[in-house]
Amino acid sequence: MSALGQVGDLLQLVPVQRAGAGLVLAALGLPVIGVVIVGLDIMPVRFAMMHVALLGIAVGQLVGLDPVLCALVACALAGAGVAPLARTADGLSGAMGLLMSLAIAAALLMLALSGVNANGAFALLWGSILSVRPADLVVLGALAVAVPALFVRRRRDLALLLHDRELALCSGVAVQRLTVVLLVLVAVAVAGAIRLTGALLVDALTLLPALAARRLGRSLVSITLWAVGIGVVVNVVGFLLALAWDLPPGPVLVLAAGAVALAAHLIPERRTSSWRTSASSSAPPSPSPH
């Protein structure tokens, strides 16, 4: 059977259709989350939320609730709780490191004391794209609507916050509240991607498209559009290649997204104003002292 025929047959299967729909929905929201991660310089957030998700999974297995739902709730609470710990932009990375250490310690202790099978908890972190459920599609669909909607409605405030926290404060942006919203969305997005690629490969859906987009875009809006476009192309093409060659989709998606990001960084930088410059120019002037 030809590769094309094999892909056509596989696309008739419901689990494959759900996986494809999940990847398309993920590409509409998660790359935008990557733009936030890069803009706030909180790269450790992926690892921190992976450990928080493990804690949520352990709780779910212990009390008999859906482990993935518990992981989503745990990540959302962690995202909201960590924001007050960071009074400066640099403090966010430190807060994420603290959160990561506490979450993994609590998860391992709970697994040890409860006697729950730790292999089952860790297995969910690896993900299984063909195990995507309708409930997972609902979460990804909500993110696909909520995240772009937030960027459209608050793009000026977001540009200022991602450019400079102090400048955003002086410009009247509700920095603390907006940071909480962003961190909750980031946390839920990481947890929501667990079923698709696993927490360990979540960069394929979030960070790598954003890194490529920052090289190609000239403003926050164009960077966001580039990130979404790259995410859609990488997810669709990577998934079809994995089906055609009978390969695990997660690693294929990571390699495809990584290749695009690398290619984007080989393009010479454009001599144009960046979105950070645009954000600065859109801020109201500081009042002069009298």
CA angle 202, 205, 211 (to 5 degrees): 105
Over residues 192-246, the pLDDT tens digits come to 887 777 765 787 888 899 999 988 988 888 999 999 999 999 999 999 998 888 8
Task: Encode pLDDT of 148-192 as tens digits.
Answer: 898 888 888 988 888 877 888 888 888 888 888 888 888 888 888
Q: How far apart are CA 192 and CA 136, in angstroms?
A: 7
* Amino acid 269: pLDDT: 67
**Distance (Å, whole) CA 229 – CA 235:** 10
> Rounded to whole angstroms, how far apart are CA atoms 148 and 146?
6
Within the chain, residue ranges assigned H as helices are 3-10, 14-40, 45-63, 67-82, 89-114, 118-126, 134-153, 155-163, 165-170, 175-192, 194-197, 207-216, 220-245, 249-265, 275-282
Of the chain, the percentage scoring pLDDT greater than 90 comes to 19
Domains and CATH numbers, the chain: 8-265 (1.10.3470.10)
Which residue do the tokens 């959160």 mark?
Answer: 99
**In a 10 Å sphere around its CB, with 0-12 CB exposed, 13-18 middle and 19+ buried, how is residue 263 labelled?**
exposed
pLDDT 10s digits, 90-124: 566 677 778 888 888 888 888 787 776 666 666 66
Q: Quote the mean pLDDT of the chain.
A: 81
User: Amino acid identity of 241?
Assistant: L
DSSP, res 277: H
Give me the amino acid identity at 221.
Answer: V
112-145 in b/e form (b: 16+ CB < 10 A) is eeeebebeebeebbebbbeebeeebbebbbebbe
DSSP 8-state secondary structure symbol assigned to residue 11: T
What radius of gyration do the chain's Cα atoms show? 20
Of the candidates 259, 9, 24, 8, which has an alpha carbon nearest to the alpha carbon of residue 129?
A: 24
